[in-house]
Amino acid sequence: MPHGTPDWGLVGPISVLYGLDDMAEQAVRIGAVSSWDRIGHVVFSDNFREGTGAWYPLISSADGILCLFTEQALSSPFCVKMVNGSGGGTYARMSHYLGYGYRGHVGLECSVAYGPAIEYIKFGIGSSLPTGRQFFYVRLDPGTGDLAHGTDAVGWTNFANVGILGGNIWEWRNAKLVADFVTGFFVRFVFLGIAYDMSAIPGRALVPAAPWRCHVYIEVDSSDATQYEMRLDDVIVTIDQP
């Protein structure tokens, strides 16, 4: 397809080289998993077009659900449907493990959609190092709008409030967590385009040491026997965040 012609246009050369100023046309034609925040260097992205083979799904009880779902996908035929189990304190989690570690700022982007009265959504980034392990967790309570970070006591401390969100049920909402694996501190959390500074908040540091690698996860969970449903799509992991 020649540069500058419609997708259905004239037959042209198999490949044509152009300067970086022309890459915007290619991006529009191809589309992108991320449509809202493209800073940093992408090291992993998944819109579940090829299924969930790149993920480690974990359900804490037998009646939880993690499956591909076609009803409301964002940029491919599939998203992931996540439902925690009916036992108290259950969760449904999707984790991705990169086979290597990173230093500096690491970011996790994703889009989530959820129904009424959902209790908690959690976003996490972790790193295993020869000197120990680091974890950065953020929990969103859609019912109150509270944002909390995980503490060393495996508890939660509120640091911001996004407000109680109206709008359509199952509306896609964007979230991004950025952490600094050099300083051991959070950097920021972004929700619906609003950034919440977390640079004064430390992550969790644990021992013993473990093989060098990085992982991210997203989960829906409940503190009681209620089952909640969430949908996940367009996940991106980035490094070298500003």
Judge contact between 39 and 176, C-beta under 8 A: no
Q: Which of 176, 191, 196 is nearest to 237 (CA)?
A: 176
Instruction: Report angle CA 220, 42, 101 to the nearest 5 degrees.
Output: 75
Give 182-239 pLDDT, tens digit per residue: 898 999 999 988 999 999 999 988 766 667 788 999 999 888 888 899 999 999 998 8
Q: Spell out, as residue ranges, where the chain has pLDDT lower than 50.
A: 1, 8-9, 14-15, 18
* Cross-strand partners of 229: 83
77 and 5, same structural domain? no
54 and 7, same structural domain? no
- The pLDDT assigned to 1 comes to 44
94 and 160, same structural domain? yes
Distance between CA atoms of residues 141 and 163, nearest Å: 10
134 and 17, same structural domain? no
58 and 4, same structural domain? no
Distance between CA atoms of residues 59 and 91, nearest Å: 6
Q: Which of 154, 148, 120 is nearest to 135 (CA)?
A: 154
Distance between CA atoms of residues 184 and 172, nearest Å: 31
Number of domains present in the structure of the chain:
2
9 and 66, same structural domain? no
Residue 2 domain boundaries: 1-31
231 and 194, same structural domain? yes
63 and 27, same structural domain? no
Judge contact between 220 and 210, C-beta under 8 A: no
78 and 17, same structural domain? no
In the chain, where do the E strands start and end? 41-46, 56-59, 65-69, 79-83, 91-98, 105-114, 120-129, 132-141, 146-150, 156-161, 173-180, 185-191, 194-197, 204-206, 213-221, 229-239
- The pLDDT assigned to 188 comes to 95
What are the backbone angles phi and psi of residue 46, rounded to the nearest 5°?
-155, 125
183 and 121, same structural domain? yes
